[in-house]
Chains A and B, each alone.
Chain A
Amino acid sequence: MAEVLQEPQIGELSDVTLGTPTVIVDDLHIVYKVYGAAKASEGGKGPTAALRRIVTRKSRPEMKEVHAVRGVSFVARHGEAIGIIGRNGSGKSTLLRAIAGLLPAHKGAVYTNGQPSLLGVNAALMNTLTGERNIVLGCYAMGMTPAETREKYDEIVEFSGIGDFIQFPMSTYSSGMGARLRFAISSAKTHDVLLIDEALATGDKDFKRKSQDRILQMRESAGTVFLVAHNLDAIESTCNRVIWLHKGKIKMEGETQEVLEAYNRV
């Protein structure tokens, strides 16, 4: 299928100017299975409810499929910061998760160099545990070694700025404190390909600036950055290229200014 024409000249030329590809998304389709209707009937626990559901499932499947990403293709290169924009439910976060290798492709493929990582450890943390324990747990969950964790520990505590609260369970934190600690933990690791979902930009004004700086810093050390955001200012100031998703397809793709102008017109 590959027709390799004039391989040397064009290939090398474009590589010099644009950097080597780090992420290639090839006609990607993502399909979710949602057990929507089945959830409602889950009222009763125990054997009879389970049996009843098995019987009814056979005659009337209550599982729905959501086609979240429908045939997306693009090439991301070293040194790029790519913004992904679109309405709610346009498949932005799903696409990000697929690039991270967390959602399997229904059709097509994502090719990557190394391990792209999603910025965020929220799911690994436990509310009833102290901040101290959560830092260790979060670092291990991101794949850091005990030595790396010890090395970063003080930095995380300091960056989060929650002081003595670190010894209390996270359930006692205000939402801002929790968000700060979570961001501090998840940004402690360096990544080759970094995927950022906007939900991270929380906290007070001071912390927002701090985290923005941290993201820029991470962008410099990472090869490629993907940023999902509704806040177009953040995209404008950090990205050199934008992909506009609409209903799971690429509606437009190109220079940041160009795409944002078109997006704002709609």
Chain B
Amino acid sequence: MSQPESALADAQAGGRATESLAALAERYGLSRAIARPSLHAYLRQLWERRHFIVTYATSKNVSKYSESALGQLWQVLTPLLNAAVYYLIFGVIFAQSKHIPNYPAFLITGVMVFSFTQRTVTAGAKAVSSNLSLIRALHFPRASLPLASAIQELQLLGWSMGVLVALVLITGEEITWLWLLTPVALFVQFVFNLGISLFMARIGAFVRDITQLLPFITRTWMYASGVFYMIDDRTRNLPTLLRWVLEFNPAAAYIEFMRDLLIYDRFPERWVWTTCSFWAVVALVFGFWFFWRAEERYGRG
């Protein structure tokens, strides 16, 4: 075990050339600098860092728009413009709206809910890889970064939700008691986002090209999630298994949840509740475990 230098160093330091450094370390209760903490300890460290996580997310958001002339106004303008573009294409040009009542509200709800998760996926994939200098300079549980990026998107969503509610009201929907459930819907989706952000952060840290491929993946996902159309209508003739897969899609379920509350004025069906909560729990538990497994390897490449 002892290399020539280590023997030399040890001899100079303590005159104990006979003892290996590992044994010396053990004798004095020193531990390896990079050792992955247990899951439990890791959770506790994260909890201790909660102020950093939230402050980091807020700071990023404040910093993000500070260079543009309209500043924070972009937090409202971006979702509005997005909805306008999709309405032009799918509402006017493809005239999807004839089949679906109140198509603008239908569309903008889908776009907002989907882009909440989509943006989290994209931001999560960069959470570790774009913060390498931070990772190489300071010690903190690395999961702080993907969690902060999910929280950052949640803060942005606050504005989008305002826009969404205003537009849905303008298109003629009425406020019902069910609207009180929207925070629940967003919370369940946010839990899912936390998980997927952690998952994507590890992928993005080691597979750098993923950020180039992600636009493909999220676009495909969006087209499959019934943002522009009703999944029921389009899948009537498909095999049962494929239909089942399309409906089990988490994004489709979160969209359905929000549309039920805001537009259809109905209490979400049981499959919606089940699918939404199932994905939230699975994503968070698996995502957290998956990210934690590589904790000591972030910042290496």
| A residues with CB within 8 A of B | 1-5, 10-11, 14-15, 18, 20-27, 32-33, 35, 38, 45-47, 49-51, 53-54, 57, 71-75, 77, 97-105, 109-113, 115-118, 120-124, 126-129, 133, 136-137, 140-143, 145-146, 169, 249-250, 253-254
Contact = CB atoms under 8 A, between A and B. Distances in A.
| Chain A facing B: main interface SS | mixed
B138 A129 contact: no
Contact of A46 (B9, B134, B212): B212
Given A3-B19, A250-B5, A141 B140 contact: yes
Given A110-B33, A137-B52, 9 more contacts: A2-B20, A26-B6, A57-B209, A103-B300, A104-B299, A109-B22, A109-B32, A126-B63, A128-B66
A189 B21 CA distance: 30
Contact of A102 (B2, B66, B299): B299
B137 A253 contact: no
6 contacts: A5-B18, A27-B6, A47-B215, A101-B139, A113-B28, A143-B49
B224 interface: no
In the complex, the 3 A-B pairs of residues with the closest C-beta atoms, listed nearest first:
A50-B212, A73-B6, A2-B23
Contacts of B28: 20-21, 113
A35 B206 CA distance: 12
Contact of B138 (A24, A99, A111, A142): A142
B136 A24 contact: no
Nearest to A254: B12
A124 B33 contact: no
Nearest to B135: A102
Interface string B229-255: 000000000000000000000000000
B66 A47 contact: no
B155 interface: no
Contacts, number: 209
Interface of B: 1-3, 5-6, 8-10, 12-16, 18-25, 27-34, 48-49, 51-52, 55-56, 59-60, 62-63, 66-67, 131, 133-140, 208-209, 212-213, 215-216, 296-297, 299-301
A2 B33 contact: no
B12 to A, nearest CB: 6
A109 B56 CA distance: 32
B301 A126 contact: no
A49 B215 CA distance: 12
Nearest to A251: B5
Given A109-B32, A117-B139, A141 B52 contact: yes
Contact of B22 (A2, A14, A21, A50): A2
Contacts of A146: 51
Contacts of B29: 113
Contacts of A98: 33
A101 B9 contact: no
Contacts of A124: 56, 134, 137-138
Contacts of B22: 1-2, 26, 109, 111
Contact of B6 (A74, A115, A122): A74
A32 B301 CA distance: 6
Nearest to A250: B5
A24 B30 contact: yes
A144 to B, nearest CB: 9
A3 B1 CA distance: 11
A102 B3 contact: no
B136 A103 contact: yes
B51 to A, nearest CB: 5
A3 B16 CA distance: 10
B15 A129 contact: no
B209 A128 contact: no
